[in-house]
Chains A and B, each alone.
Chain A
Protein backbone atom coordinates (compact mmCIF):
# COMPACT_ATOMS: atom_id res chain seq x y z
CA UNK A 1 0.00 0.00 0.00
CA UNK A 2 2.72 2.39 1.05
CA UNK A 3 4.69 1.35 -2.00
CA UNK A 4 1.78 2.02 -4.25
CA UNK A 5 1.20 5.58 -3.03
CA UNK A 6 4.91 6.22 -3.40
CA UNK A 7 4.65 5.03 -6.98
CA UNK A 8 1.64 7.28 -7.64
CA UNK A 9 3.48 10.20 -6.10
CA UNK A 10 6.48 9.48 -8.27
CA UNK A 11 4.38 9.25 -11.43
CA UNK A 12 2.57 12.48 -10.57
CA UNK A 13 5.86 14.28 -10.02
CA UNK A 14 7.16 12.91 -13.29
CA UNK A 15 4.04 14.09 -15.13
CA UNK A 16 4.25 17.54 -13.57
CA UNK A 17 7.91 17.81 -14.47
CA UNK A 18 7.21 16.73 -18.02
CA UNK A 19 4.38 19.18 -18.49
CA UNK A 20 6.50 22.04 -17.14
CA UNK A 21 9.28 21.05 -19.51
CA UNK A 22 6.79 20.91 -22.38
CA UNK A 23 5.26 24.34 -21.68
CA UNK A 24 8.76 25.79 -21.50
CA UNK A 25 9.67 24.28 -24.83
CA UNK A 26 6.40 25.33 -26.44
CA UNK A 27 6.65 28.71 -28.09
CA UNK A 28 3.65 30.89 -28.57
CA UNK A 29 2.57 31.03 -32.18
CA UNK A 30 2.15 34.77 -32.74
CA UNK A 31 -0.64 34.33 -35.30
CA UNK A 32 -2.63 32.06 -32.99
CA UNK A 33 -1.98 34.41 -30.09
CA UNK A 34 -3.31 37.38 -32.12
CA UNK A 35 -6.36 35.32 -33.05
CA UNK A 36 -6.93 34.46 -29.38
CA UNK A 37 -6.57 38.09 -28.28
CA UNK A 38 -8.96 39.15 -31.06
CA UNK A 39 -11.59 36.67 -29.85
CA UNK A 40 -11.21 37.92 -26.28
CA UNK A 41 -11.91 41.46 -27.49
CA UNK A 42 -14.95 40.25 -29.40
CA UNK A 43 -16.28 38.46 -26.32
CA UNK A 44 -15.73 41.16 -23.73
CA UNK A 45 -16.16 44.38 -25.73
CA UNK A 46 -18.26 43.11 -28.63
CA UNK A 47 -16.23 45.31 -30.96
CA UNK A 48 -12.59 45.32 -32.04
CA UNK A 49 -10.41 48.36 -31.24
CA UNK A 50 -9.69 48.80 -34.96
CA UNK A 51 -13.41 49.04 -35.65
CA UNK A 52 -13.69 51.76 -33.02
CA UNK A 53 -10.98 53.79 -34.75
CA UNK A 54 -12.74 53.30 -38.08
CA UNK A 55 -16.08 54.42 -36.59
CA UNK A 56 -14.38 57.50 -35.21
CA UNK A 57 -12.90 58.13 -38.65
CA UNK A 58 -16.27 57.72 -40.32
CA UNK A 59 -17.73 60.40 -38.08
CA UNK A 60 -14.83 62.78 -38.82
CA UNK A 61 -15.16 62.02 -42.53
CA UNK A 62 -18.79 63.14 -42.67
CA UNK A 63 -18.45 66.19 -40.42
CA UNK A 64 -18.27 69.68 -41.88
CA UNK A 65 -14.90 70.89 -40.68
CA UNK A 66 -12.07 73.28 -41.44
CA UNK A 67 -12.22 76.92 -42.49
CA UNK A 68 -14.29 75.96 -45.54
CA UNK A 69 -16.74 74.03 -43.36
CA UNK A 70 -17.11 71.01 -45.65
CA UNK A 71 -16.91 67.27 -45.15
CA UNK A 72 -14.35 64.99 -46.82
CA UNK A 73 -17.03 63.39 -48.97
CA UNK A 74 -15.67 65.07 -52.12
CA UNK A 75 -12.11 63.83 -51.50
CA UNK A 76 -10.79 61.87 -54.48
CA UNK A 77 -8.64 58.91 -53.46
CA UNK A 78 -7.95 57.96 -57.07
CA UNK A 79 -11.25 56.34 -58.05
CA UNK A 80 -13.28 59.56 -58.19
CA UNK A 81 -14.64 61.96 -55.54
CA UNK A 82 -16.14 60.12 -52.59
CA UNK A 83 -15.40 56.65 -54.01
CA UNK A 84 -13.97 54.73 -51.06
CA UNK A 85 -14.71 51.12 -51.99
CA UNK A 86 -11.29 49.57 -52.79
CA UNK A 87 -9.57 52.97 -52.71
CA UNK A 88 -6.65 51.73 -50.60
CA UNK A 89 -5.91 48.85 -52.99
CA UNK A 90 -4.49 51.27 -55.61
CA UNK A 91 -2.56 53.61 -53.25
CA UNK A 92 0.04 55.13 -53.31
CA UNK A 93 -0.53 56.74 -56.73
CA UNK A 94 0.11 59.99 -58.56
CA UNK A 95 -2.44 62.80 -58.13
CA UNK A 96 -2.54 65.53 -60.75
CA UNK A 97 -4.09 68.11 -58.40
CA UNK A 98 -1.26 68.03 -55.87
CA UNK A 99 1.30 66.91 -58.48
CA UNK A 100 2.79 64.31 -56.20
CA UNK A 101 2.60 60.63 -55.41
CA UNK A 102 0.52 60.19 -52.26
CA UNK A 103 -0.31 57.29 -49.98
CA UNK A 104 -3.62 57.13 -48.13
CA UNK A 105 -2.40 59.11 -45.12
CA UNK A 106 -0.83 61.85 -47.23
CA UNK A 107 -3.92 62.03 -49.43
CA UNK A 108 -6.14 62.55 -46.38
CA UNK A 109 -3.90 65.43 -45.28
CA UNK A 110 -4.04 66.93 -48.81
CA UNK A 111 -7.84 66.83 -48.78
CA UNK A 112 -7.98 68.32 -45.30
CA UNK A 113 -5.79 71.19 -46.52
CA UNK A 114 -7.16 71.76 -50.02
CA UNK A 115 -10.80 70.78 -49.56
CA UNK A 116 -11.51 71.68 -45.94
CA UNK A 117 -9.07 74.56 -45.59
CA UNK A 118 -7.05 73.28 -42.64
CA UNK A 119 -3.56 74.68 -42.21
CA UNK A 120 -1.06 71.79 -42.23
CA UNK A 121 0.04 72.61 -38.67
CA UNK A 122 -3.54 72.41 -37.40
CA UNK A 123 -3.98 68.80 -38.51
CA UNK A 124 -3.98 66.31 -35.66
CA UNK A 125 -2.15 63.05 -36.24
CA UNK A 126 -4.88 61.13 -34.38
CA UNK A 127 -7.54 62.47 -36.76
CA UNK A 128 -5.50 61.32 -39.76
CA UNK A 129 -5.07 57.88 -38.17
CA UNK A 130 -8.79 57.48 -37.52
CA UNK A 131 -9.63 58.64 -41.05
CA UNK A 132 -7.03 56.21 -42.43
CA UNK A 133 -8.66 53.38 -40.47
CA UNK A 134 -12.08 54.31 -41.89
CA UNK A 135 -11.04 54.61 -45.55
CA UNK A 136 -8.91 51.46 -45.28
CA UNK A 137 -11.87 49.50 -43.86
CA UNK A 138 -13.46 49.87 -47.30
CA UNK A 139 -10.66 47.76 -48.81
CA UNK A 140 -10.80 44.95 -46.26
CA UNK A 141 -9.62 41.59 -47.68
CA UNK A 142 -9.36 42.98 -51.23
CA UNK A 143 -6.45 42.12 -53.56
CA UNK A 144 -3.63 44.68 -53.48
CA UNK A 145 -3.30 46.37 -56.84
CA UNK A 146 -0.41 48.85 -56.83
CA UNK A 147 1.26 48.99 -60.25
CA UNK A 148 3.45 52.06 -60.87
CA UNK A 149 2.55 53.46 -64.30
CA UNK A 150 3.26 57.18 -64.50
CA UNK A 151 6.86 58.42 -64.54
CA UNK A 152 6.31 59.91 -61.07
CA UNK A 153 5.10 56.58 -59.67
CA UNK A 154 7.98 54.67 -61.23
CA UNK A 155 10.46 57.20 -59.85
CA UNK A 156 8.93 56.88 -56.38
CA UNK A 157 9.11 53.07 -56.57
CA UNK A 158 12.80 53.29 -57.55
CA UNK A 159 13.47 55.63 -54.62
CA UNK A 160 11.73 53.19 -52.28
CA UNK A 161 13.81 50.28 -53.56
CA UNK A 162 16.99 52.29 -52.99
CA UNK A 163 15.96 53.11 -49.41
CA UNK A 164 15.06 49.46 -48.92
CA UNK A 165 18.73 48.51 -49.48
CA UNK A 166 20.27 51.55 -47.72
CA UNK A 167 22.43 50.24 -44.84
CA UNK A 168 22.98 52.73 -42.08
CA UNK A 169 23.01 53.35 -38.37
CA UNK A 170 24.79 51.71 -35.43
CA UNK A 171 23.05 48.42 -36.20
CA UNK A 172 24.22 48.42 -39.85
CA UNK A 173 20.69 47.69 -40.99
CA UNK A 174 18.57 48.02 -44.05
CA UNK A 175 15.14 46.56 -44.74
CA UNK A 176 16.32 43.95 -47.24
CA UNK A 177 18.83 42.09 -45.10
CA UNK A 178 15.98 40.89 -42.82
CA UNK A 179 12.92 41.10 -45.05
CA UNK A 180 14.48 39.52 -48.16
CA UNK A 181 17.64 37.59 -47.23
CA UNK A 182 16.15 36.09 -44.06
CA UNK A 183 12.41 36.19 -44.83
CA UNK A 184 10.71 33.26 -43.12
CA UNK A 185 12.90 33.64 -40.02
CA UNK A 186 11.95 35.12 -36.70
CA UNK A 187 13.19 38.15 -34.78
CA UNK A 188 12.40 37.02 -31.27
CA UNK A 189 8.84 35.76 -31.76
CA UNK A 190 8.02 37.99 -34.73
CA UNK A 191 7.87 36.20 -38.07
CA UNK A 192 9.65 38.17 -40.79
CA UNK A 193 8.01 38.35 -44.21
CA UNK A 194 9.21 39.71 -47.52
CA UNK A 195 7.19 42.28 -49.51
CA UNK A 196 6.40 39.58 -52.07
CA UNK A 197 5.05 37.42 -49.26
CA UNK A 198 2.63 40.21 -48.42
CA UNK A 199 4.51 42.30 -45.87
CA UNK A 200 2.45 45.53 -45.43
CA UNK A 201 -0.91 43.82 -46.12
CA UNK A 202 -2.31 44.22 -42.58
CA UNK A 203 -1.93 47.99 -42.03
CA UNK A 204 -3.55 50.06 -40.62
CA UNK A 205 -3.84 47.66 -37.72
CA UNK A 206 -4.46 47.62 -33.99
CA UNK A 207 -1.40 46.23 -32.21
CA UNK A 208 -2.56 44.66 -28.98
CA UNK A 209 0.96 44.65 -27.53
CA UNK A 210 1.13 48.44 -27.89
CA UNK A 211 -2.63 49.06 -27.47
CA UNK A 212 -2.49 51.51 -30.36
CA UNK A 213 -3.53 51.83 -33.95
CA UNK A 214 -0.54 51.72 -36.31
CA UNK A 215 -0.79 52.92 -39.88
CA UNK A 216 1.74 51.69 -42.44
CA UNK A 217 3.73 54.90 -41.82
CA UNK A 218 3.67 54.25 -38.07
CA UNK A 219 4.90 50.72 -38.71
CA UNK A 220 7.74 51.92 -40.93
CA UNK A 221 8.70 54.43 -38.22
CA UNK A 222 8.71 51.63 -35.62
CA UNK A 223 10.97 49.55 -37.86
CA UNK A 224 13.49 52.38 -38.20
CA UNK A 225 13.40 53.06 -34.45
CA UNK A 226 14.12 49.45 -33.63
CA UNK A 227 17.30 49.55 -35.73
CA UNK A 228 18.37 52.88 -34.15
CA UNK A 229 17.65 55.10 -37.13
CA UNK A 230 15.52 58.15 -36.42
CA UNK A 231 12.30 57.66 -38.45
CA UNK A 232 11.44 59.95 -41.36
CA UNK A 233 8.70 62.53 -40.83
CA UNK A 234 5.14 61.51 -41.54
CA UNK A 235 3.95 62.25 -45.11
CA UNK A 236 7.58 62.68 -46.27
CA UNK A 237 9.00 61.13 -49.44
CA UNK A 238 10.81 58.23 -47.72
CA UNK A 239 7.50 57.10 -46.16
CA UNK A 240 5.65 57.21 -49.48
CA UNK A 241 8.57 55.69 -51.41
CA UNK A 242 8.87 52.69 -49.06
CA UNK A 243 5.08 52.21 -49.08
CA UNK A 244 4.83 52.15 -52.88
CA UNK A 245 7.83 49.80 -53.06
CA UNK A 246 6.40 47.29 -50.58
CA UNK A 247 2.85 47.40 -51.92
CA UNK A 248 4.03 47.04 -55.53
CA UNK A 249 6.01 43.96 -54.54
CA UNK A 250 3.00 42.65 -52.56
CA UNK A 251 0.95 43.10 -55.75
CA UNK A 252 3.51 41.06 -57.74
CA UNK A 253 3.12 38.33 -55.12
CA UNK A 254 -0.67 38.40 -55.65
CA UNK A 255 -1.42 39.28 -52.04
CA UNK A 256 -4.66 40.47 -50.50
CA UNK A 257 -5.15 42.83 -47.62
CA UNK A 258 -6.15 41.18 -44.38
CA UNK A 259 -9.24 42.32 -42.53
CA UNK A 260 -8.77 46.11 -42.24
CA UNK A 261 -8.03 47.63 -39.82
CA UNK A 262 -5.90 44.58 -39.03
CA UNK A 263 -5.40 43.06 -35.60
CA UNK A 264 -1.84 42.07 -34.80
CA UNK A 265 0.84 41.93 -32.14
Chain B
Protein backbone atom coordinates (compact mmCIF):
# COMPACT_ATOMS: atom_id res chain seq x y z
CA UNK B 1 0.00 0.00 0.00
CA UNK B 2 3.00 2.31 0.52
CA UNK B 3 3.62 2.61 -3.19
CA UNK B 4 -0.09 3.13 -3.96
CA UNK B 5 -0.22 6.05 -1.50
CA UNK B 6 3.00 7.43 -2.98
CA UNK B 7 1.66 7.19 -6.55
CA UNK B 8 -1.63 8.85 -5.59
CA UNK B 9 0.30 11.64 -3.92
CA UNK B 10 2.51 12.16 -7.01
CA UNK B 11 -0.44 12.08 -9.40
CA UNK B 12 -2.95 14.17 -7.45
CA UNK B 13 -2.32 17.40 -9.37
CA UNK B 14 -2.72 15.73 -12.78
CA UNK B 15 -5.83 13.91 -11.56
CA UNK B 16 -7.36 17.12 -10.27
CA UNK B 17 -6.70 19.06 -13.48
CA UNK B 18 -8.02 16.34 -15.81
CA UNK B 19 -11.08 15.72 -13.62
CA UNK B 20 -11.86 19.44 -13.40
CA UNK B 21 -11.49 19.94 -17.16
CA UNK B 22 -13.52 16.90 -18.27
CA UNK B 23 -16.20 17.28 -15.57
CA UNK B 24 -16.40 21.00 -16.34
CA UNK B 25 -16.86 20.38 -20.08
CA UNK B 26 -19.47 17.71 -19.36
CA UNK B 27 -21.37 20.10 -17.09
CA UNK B 28 -21.15 22.86 -19.70
CA UNK B 29 -22.57 20.61 -22.41
CA UNK B 30 -25.41 19.50 -20.13
CA UNK B 31 -26.19 23.08 -19.04
CA UNK B 32 -26.55 24.29 -22.64
CA UNK B 33 -28.86 21.38 -23.53
CA UNK B 34 -32.13 23.28 -22.71
CA UNK B 35 -31.05 26.04 -25.13
CA UNK B 36 -29.93 23.52 -27.73
CA UNK B 37 -32.97 21.22 -27.35
CA UNK B 38 -35.20 23.10 -29.80
CA UNK B 39 -32.41 23.68 -32.30
CA UNK B 40 -31.39 20.03 -32.03
CA UNK B 41 -34.90 18.92 -32.98
CA UNK B 42 -34.66 21.16 -36.06
CA UNK B 43 -31.21 20.08 -37.18
CA UNK B 44 -31.41 16.49 -35.93
CA UNK B 45 -32.50 15.20 -39.34
CA UNK B 46 -29.65 17.05 -40.99
CA UNK B 47 -27.11 15.56 -38.54
CA UNK B 48 -28.53 12.09 -39.11
CA UNK B 49 -28.37 12.35 -42.88
CA UNK B 50 -24.83 13.46 -43.59
CA UNK B 51 -23.84 10.08 -44.99
CA UNK B 52 -20.37 8.92 -43.99
CA UNK B 53 -19.85 11.77 -41.52
CA UNK B 54 -22.99 10.81 -39.58
CA UNK B 55 -21.98 7.15 -39.67
CA UNK B 56 -18.45 7.92 -38.50
CA UNK B 57 -19.75 9.36 -35.23
CA UNK B 58 -22.77 7.09 -34.94
CA UNK B 59 -25.11 10.06 -35.44
CA UNK B 60 -27.24 8.21 -37.99
CA UNK B 61 -28.63 6.07 -35.15
CA UNK B 62 -29.35 8.86 -32.68
CA UNK B 63 -32.23 11.20 -32.04
CA UNK B 64 -30.76 14.61 -31.28
CA UNK B 65 -34.06 15.92 -30.08
CA UNK B 66 -33.77 13.65 -27.04
CA UNK B 67 -31.41 14.18 -24.14
CA UNK B 68 -29.75 10.76 -24.48
CA UNK B 69 -29.04 11.29 -28.20
CA UNK B 70 -27.53 14.70 -27.45
CA UNK B 71 -25.57 13.28 -24.47
CA UNK B 72 -24.15 10.41 -26.55
CA UNK B 73 -22.62 12.68 -29.16
CA UNK B 74 -21.56 15.72 -27.14
CA UNK B 75 -20.74 14.35 -23.69
CA UNK B 76 -19.80 10.92 -25.05
CA UNK B 77 -17.02 12.41 -27.13
CA UNK B 78 -15.75 14.52 -24.24
CA UNK B 79 -15.70 11.64 -21.76
CA UNK B 80 -14.74 9.02 -24.34
CA UNK B 81 -11.82 10.85 -25.88
CA UNK B 82 -10.86 12.99 -22.86
CA UNK B 83 -11.07 10.00 -20.53
CA UNK B 84 -9.04 7.91 -22.98
CA UNK B 85 -6.31 10.57 -23.05
CA UNK B 86 -6.24 10.74 -19.26
CA UNK B 87 -6.10 6.94 -18.98
CA UNK B 88 -3.36 6.74 -21.61
CA UNK B 89 -1.27 9.34 -19.80
CA UNK B 90 -1.73 7.57 -16.46
CA UNK B 91 -0.72 4.23 -17.95
CA UNK B 92 2.18 5.29 -20.12
CA UNK B 93 3.95 7.25 -17.42
CA UNK B 94 3.35 4.82 -14.55
CA UNK B 95 6.51 2.69 -14.90
CA UNK B 96 8.51 4.40 -17.61
CA UNK B 97 8.69 7.74 -15.80
CA UNK B 98 10.77 6.03 -13.09
CA UNK B 99 13.40 5.18 -15.69
CA UNK B 100 13.09 8.46 -17.59
CA UNK B 101 13.55 10.49 -14.43
CA UNK B 102 16.16 8.06 -13.02
CA UNK B 103 14.12 7.32 -9.89
CA UNK B 104 13.82 3.59 -10.71
CA UNK B 105 17.24 3.04 -9.15
CA UNK B 106 16.03 4.62 -5.91
CA UNK B 107 12.75 2.68 -5.86
CA UNK B 108 14.06 -0.73 -6.88
CA UNK B 109 16.94 -0.81 -4.42
CA UNK B 110 14.37 -0.95 -1.63
CA UNK B 111 13.06 -4.33 -0.45
CA UNK B 112 10.04 -4.39 -2.74
CA UNK B 113 9.73 -6.96 -5.49
CA UNK B 114 9.27 -5.92 -9.11
CA UNK B 115 5.94 -7.79 -9.16
CA UNK B 116 4.75 -5.78 -6.17
CA UNK B 117 5.88 -2.57 -7.87
CA UNK B 118 3.87 -3.48 -10.97
CA UNK B 119 0.84 -4.54 -8.92
CA UNK B 120 0.81 -1.44 -6.72
CA UNK B 121 1.45 0.95 -9.58
CA UNK B 122 -1.34 -0.69 -11.57
CA UNK B 123 -3.60 -0.49 -8.52
CA UNK B 124 -2.81 3.20 -8.09
CA UNK B 125 -3.56 3.82 -11.77
CA UNK B 126 -6.92 2.02 -11.48
CA UNK B 127 -7.77 4.04 -8.39
CA UNK B 128 -6.98 7.29 -10.19
CA UNK B 129 -9.20 6.30 -13.12
CA UNK B 130 -11.97 5.27 -10.71
CA UNK B 131 -11.71 8.58 -8.83
CA UNK B 132 -11.73 10.49 -12.12
CA UNK B 133 -14.75 8.56 -13.28
CA UNK B 134 -16.61 8.89 -9.99
CA UNK B 135 -16.08 12.66 -9.94
CA UNK B 136 -17.21 13.06 -13.57
CA UNK B 137 -20.22 10.85 -12.88
CA UNK B 138 -21.17 12.90 -9.81
CA UNK B 139 -20.86 16.20 -11.70
CA UNK B 140 -22.88 14.73 -14.59
CA UNK B 141 -25.62 13.54 -12.22
CA UNK B 142 -25.86 16.93 -10.49
CA UNK B 143 -25.81 18.79 -13.81
CA UNK B 144 -28.56 16.60 -15.27
CA UNK B 145 -30.66 17.12 -12.11
CA UNK B 146 -30.19 20.87 -12.29
CA UNK B 147 -31.58 21.20 -15.83
CA UNK B 148 -34.60 18.99 -15.08
CA UNK B 149 -33.82 16.62 -17.92
CA UNK B 150 -35.25 13.14 -17.74
CA UNK B 151 -32.59 10.80 -19.06
CA UNK B 152 -32.74 7.04 -19.21
CA UNK B 153 -30.67 6.50 -16.08
CA UNK B 154 -29.96 2.85 -16.80
CA UNK B 155 -28.58 3.78 -20.23
CA UNK B 156 -26.57 6.60 -18.71
CA UNK B 157 -25.07 4.13 -16.21
CA UNK B 158 -24.29 1.69 -19.03
CA UNK B 159 -22.56 4.44 -21.02
CA UNK B 160 -20.43 5.34 -17.99
CA UNK B 161 -19.60 1.66 -17.45
CA UNK B 162 -18.51 1.38 -21.11
CA UNK B 163 -16.29 4.48 -20.84
CA UNK B 164 -14.82 3.14 -17.60
CA UNK B 165 -13.96 -0.17 -19.28
CA UNK B 166 -12.51 1.75 -22.25
CA UNK B 167 -10.28 3.78 -19.95
CA UNK B 168 -9.09 0.68 -18.10
CA UNK B 169 -8.25 -1.07 -21.36
CA UNK B 170 -6.33 1.89 -22.81
CA UNK B 171 -4.55 2.48 -19.50
CA UNK B 172 -3.59 -1.22 -19.33
CA UNK B 173 -2.20 -1.25 -22.87
CA UNK B 174 -0.18 1.91 -22.15
CA UNK B 175 0.92 0.48 -18.78
CA UNK B 176 2.24 -2.59 -20.58
CA UNK B 177 4.16 -0.43 -23.07
CA UNK B 178 5.50 1.54 -20.12
CA UNK B 179 6.79 -1.71 -18.57
CA UNK B 180 8.49 -2.74 -21.79
CA UNK B 181 10.20 0.46 -22.88
CA UNK B 182 10.89 3.95 -21.70
CA UNK B 183 8.51 6.15 -23.69
CA UNK B 184 7.18 9.66 -23.18
CA UNK B 185 3.55 10.69 -22.60
CA UNK B 186 3.14 11.54 -26.31
CA UNK B 187 3.15 7.83 -27.13
CA UNK B 188 0.15 7.29 -24.83
CA UNK B 189 -1.83 10.12 -26.40
CA UNK B 190 -0.98 8.72 -29.84
CA UNK B 191 -2.28 5.27 -28.92
CA UNK B 192 -5.55 6.70 -27.55
CA UNK B 193 -6.02 8.80 -30.71
CA UNK B 194 -5.21 5.79 -32.90
CA UNK B 195 -7.92 3.69 -31.22
CA UNK B 196 -10.39 6.58 -31.63
CA UNK B 197 -9.69 6.79 -35.36
CA UNK B 198 -9.88 2.99 -35.73
CA UNK B 199 -13.48 3.26 -34.54
CA UNK B 200 -14.25 6.07 -36.98
CA UNK B 201 -12.74 4.06 -39.84
CA UNK B 202 -14.72 0.98 -38.77
CA UNK B 203 -17.92 3.09 -38.75
CA UNK B 204 -17.17 4.47 -42.21
CA UNK B 205 -16.16 1.29 -44.03
CA UNK B 206 -17.89 -2.03 -43.77
CA UNK B 207 -14.71 -3.86 -44.82
CA UNK B 208 -12.87 -2.39 -41.84
CA UNK B 209 -15.59 -3.26 -39.31
CA UNK B 210 -13.19 -5.79 -37.75
CA UNK B 211 -11.27 -2.88 -36.23
CA UNK B 212 -14.11 -2.64 -33.71
CA UNK B 213 -12.70 -5.77 -32.08
CA UNK B 214 -9.34 -4.07 -31.61
CA UNK B 215 -10.41 -0.64 -30.46
CA UNK B 216 -12.11 -0.18 -27.08
CA UNK B 217 -14.14 2.60 -28.69
CA UNK B 218 -15.95 -0.26 -30.45
CA UNK B 219 -17.83 -1.41 -27.33
CA UNK B 220 -18.06 2.16 -25.98
CA UNK B 221 -19.93 3.46 -29.06
CA UNK B 222 -22.81 5.38 -27.49
CA UNK B 223 -25.12 5.06 -30.50
CA UNK B 224 -24.80 1.25 -30.50
CA UNK B 225 -25.31 1.04 -26.73
CA UNK B 226 -28.50 3.10 -26.91
CA UNK B 227 -29.78 1.11 -29.88
CA UNK B 228 -29.00 -2.33 -28.39
CA UNK B 229 -29.58 -1.28 -24.75
CA UNK B 230 -26.48 -3.31 -23.92
CA UNK B 231 -22.75 -3.47 -24.55
CA UNK B 232 -21.64 -5.49 -27.57
CA UNK B 233 -20.28 -8.51 -25.71
CA UNK B 234 -17.85 -9.89 -28.34
CA UNK B 235 -16.10 -6.50 -28.56
CA UNK B 236 -16.07 -6.26 -24.76
CA UNK B 237 -14.72 -9.82 -24.40
CA UNK B 238 -11.79 -9.01 -26.70
CA UNK B 239 -11.21 -5.83 -24.71
CA UNK B 240 -11.12 -7.74 -21.41
CA UNK B 241 -8.73 -10.27 -22.97
CA UNK B 242 -6.43 -7.46 -24.18
CA UNK B 243 -6.56 -5.86 -20.73
CA UNK B 244 -5.63 -9.08 -18.90
CA UNK B 245 -2.91 -9.88 -21.45
CA UNK B 246 -1.46 -6.40 -21.02
CA UNK B 247 -1.27 -6.79 -17.23
CA UNK B 248 0.36 -10.23 -17.49
CA UNK B 249 2.87 -9.05 -20.11
CA UNK B 250 3.71 -5.99 -17.98
CA UNK B 251 4.33 -8.26 -14.96
CA UNK B 252 6.51 -10.63 -16.97
CA UNK B 253 8.50 -7.97 -18.81
CA UNK B 254 9.15 -5.69 -15.84
CA UNK B 255 10.33 -8.63 -13.74
CA UNK B 256 12.97 -9.47 -16.35
CA UNK B 257 13.99 -5.99 -17.30
CA UNK B 258 17.43 -4.48 -16.76
CA UNK B 259 17.09 -1.06 -15.19
CA UNK B 260 19.52 1.28 -16.89
Chain B associates with chain A: no
Q: A interface vs B, CB < 8 Å?
A: none
